[in-house]
Structures are given as structure tokens and as C-alpha cells.
């Protein structure tokens, strides 16, 4: 019988240690929102299962990453845009470009099933029966890009959010060392929850996710119910790139709202233009309130900005746009 793919998250497990994989399999089986599509013991099995099943997420033991042919498998995951979590033994997270977890973290969560449910946001969802679009949550998906001067601008925008505001993804150009502190600072100023994104996070009202670190790009997966973190070269001079996030959101069409805030350069301009062409509502920060009127200027000059506003008005404007019906947004 084919696996049940109506669940929120389909998972492939790659672990050569039989006793540990059995423990994980039992825990996943008890999680109603997770569908196990395969259990591989080596990379050959993993190649075949990944190609055939195309899971949302691959869980793999840290020792697999040290095999000589693992880079080829990692390239396959990147090409197929499949998220990955490396499970490390003990208490120390695995190094490398992928998200990681430890046996200790998983045990504290009560097993792999509960760990994944919490990590990927499944507990926020009420008995899903299929993919959840932005309209099903009552909000469109909001994507925001910022660079120089963006921290204060984001504080001003997010301070307008209600506790159950629109699901939001943010790329802020910032050193990875400062990202945890930024997330905590924004969370203090926002009634919704603000935190760094994790692999296969499920988007939900009241959740604002920041691109984590400088080693992966953040994107949204249509129909807008999940985010994705993928390694890759810098785009528009940056990793994470605002353009990557905005181009992915363009696939949502009228069910997305794009916002480009203060920043140097032009990262995000092309992506915002793609969003506007796809029917998304787009907002740009004006010159007077921008610390550096670079990114929003580039977007405005190429016709990507539907609404140019002072930073003091952007929060309420994006909430209004995110709450509008698709039909209304099409007609402005």
C-alpha cells in the first residue's frame, strides 16, 4: 500500500544503526501529523527512496555525513529542495550546512515524533486534512526583506502585529553571531512569536520566522504552508538573499504580501518585481524614513512597488493587505 501523503510532513529516515532507527520509527509512528515514507540503512537506499518518494524532510545520522559519497547525496537534496536534519549522538550538534539535532534534544522532547512536531510547528495545526494555504488561515503570507537600518525598521513594523498576525518570513542581512539576539529583541517588541526558522517549519498565524545564519537561503513552499532552508551560492551578493525569498513567494500570487525595507544595494528588487507581476501586493519603504534608500529605491525605479510608505505606516498597511481577500487585492 502506498504511504499516506495527506499528513503535514513526509519523512525519510537514514540511519545505519538498527537499534536507534527502530526507536525513532516507533516514535514517528505515534505522531499523527508525520508520514514516514522510508527507512534507509545506507546512501544507496537513500538515493532510491529520495528519488521515488520526494520527502519533505530527510533525517540522517551524523556518521553518514562523513562518508565519501555523501556530498553527492547532499547535492541531490539541494537540487530537489528537500530539507535535512542531521542527528548527532550525545549533546553536541553536528557541524555543517544542514540543521542539526542531538539525541539528548530528542530524548528531552519525548522522542523523535514529538521533537519533529514541535520543531516543524505541527502542534500549532488543528487536525490538518491537507495542505494549508494562506487563505485557509485567514491571512496571506507576508515576506519582508531588510538590510542596513533594518533592525529598527523591523521593530517598528512588527510592533503593530497582533498576537495571531499573518505568517511571516524575514531576511535581514546580519552576521550570524547577532541573529539569536536579534530574534529575541524582535520577539520582545512583537505580540506574535519571533524566532529563527528551522527546517520544514510550518507557517501559522502568530509566527514570524527569521532566516537563520549566513549559510542557507530561506524560501516559502507553495501553497504557503511551509518554509525551506537550502544551501547555495550567494544571490544578489547575499546569503540568505531577499531575492530568493521573494521569488519563492511569487509562486503564491495574490496570497502573498512583499515588503522591502531600508538597505544598501538592490537585493530584493528583482524578487519584489516578480511578486508584483504574479499578483502579490508589494510595499516599499520611502526615502525619507530609510536609513539607506538603496534596496527600496531599486525596487521603486523598476516598478516593483505598489505602495511606497513611511516606516510608521508600513505595519498597518501590510496587515491590511494581508487580511484582504484575494479578489479585493487583485483590484487594489
Answer whether the bond into residue 264 is a cis peptide, omega within 30°: no
Per the residue annotation, which of 173, 217, 238, 300 is the catalytic one? 173
Neighbours of 237 (CB within 10 A): 12
267 is catalytic: yes
Residues in Cβ contact with 74 at an 8 Å cutoff, skipping those fewer than 6 apart: 65, 84, 97, 98, 231
For 23-33, b/e burial (b = at least 16 CB within 10 A) is bbeebbeebeb
Q: How far apart are the first and last CA of the chain?
A: 48
CA distances from 236 to 182, 183, 233, 242 (A): 23, 24, 10, 8
173 is catalytic: yes
Per the residue annotation, which of 33, 56, 201, 267 is the catalytic one? 267
Per the residue annotation, which of 35, 49, 99, 147 is the catalytic one? 147
| Residues annotated catalytic, as ranges | 147, 173, 267
Amino acid at each position: 500500500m502506498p504511504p499516506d501523503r495527506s499528513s503535514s510532513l513526509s519523512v525519510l529516515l537514514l540511519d545505519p544503526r538498527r537499534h536507534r532507527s527502530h526507536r525513532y520509527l516507533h516514535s514517528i509512528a505515534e505522531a499523527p501529523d508525520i508520514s514516514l515514507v522510508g527507512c534507509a540503512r545506507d546512501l544507496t537506499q537513500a538515493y532510491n527512496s529520495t528519488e521515488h518518494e520526494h520527502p519533505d524532510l530527510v533525517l540522517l545520522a551524523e556518521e553518514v555525513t562523513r562518508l565519501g559519497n555523501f556530498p553527492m547525496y547532499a547535492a541531490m537534496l539541494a537540487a530537489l529542495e528537500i530539507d535535512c536534519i542531521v542527528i548527532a549522538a550525545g549533546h553536541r550538534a553536528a557541524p555543517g550546512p544542514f540543521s542539526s539535532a542531538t539525541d539528548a534534544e530528542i530524548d528531552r522532547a519525548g522522542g523523535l515524533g514529538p521533537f519533529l512536531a514541535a520543531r516543524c510547528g505541527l502542534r500549532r495545526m488543528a487536525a490538518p486534512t491537507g495542505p494549508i494555504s494562506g487563505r485557509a488561515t485567514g491571512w496571506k503570507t507576508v515576506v519582508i526583506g531588510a538590510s542596513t537600518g533594518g533592525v529598527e525598521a523591523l521593530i517598528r513594523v512588527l510592533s503593530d502585529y497582533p498576537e495571531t498576525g499573518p505568517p511571516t518570513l524575514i531576511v535581514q542581512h546580519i552576521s550570524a553571531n547577532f541573529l539569536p539576539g536579534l530574534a529575541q529583541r524582535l520577539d520582545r517588541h512583537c505580540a506574535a512569536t519571533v524566532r529563527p526558522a528551522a527546517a520544514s517549519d510550518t507557517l501559522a498565524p502568530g509566527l514570524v520566522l527569521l532566516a537563520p545564519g549566513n549559510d542557507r537561503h530561506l524560501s516559502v513552499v507553495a501553497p504557503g504552508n511551509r518554509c525551506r532552508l537550502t544551501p547555495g551560492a550567494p544571490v544578489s551578493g547575499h546569503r540568505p538573499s531577499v531575492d530568493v525569498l521573494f521569488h519563492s513567494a511569487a509562486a503564491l500570487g495574490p496570497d502573498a504580501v512583499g515588503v522591502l525595507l531600508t538597505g544598501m544595494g538592490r537585493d530584493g528588487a528583482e524578487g519584489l518585481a516578480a511578486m508584483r507581476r504574479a499578483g502579490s501586493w508589494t510595499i516599499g519603504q520611502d526615502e525619507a524614513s530609510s536609513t539607506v534608500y538603496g534596496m527600496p529605491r531599486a525596487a521603486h525605479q523598476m516598478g516593483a512597488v505598489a505602495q511606497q510608505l513611511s516606516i510608521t505606516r508600513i505595519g498597518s498597511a501590510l496587515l491590511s493587505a494581508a487580511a484582504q481577500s484575494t479578489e479585493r487585492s487583485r483590484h487594489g
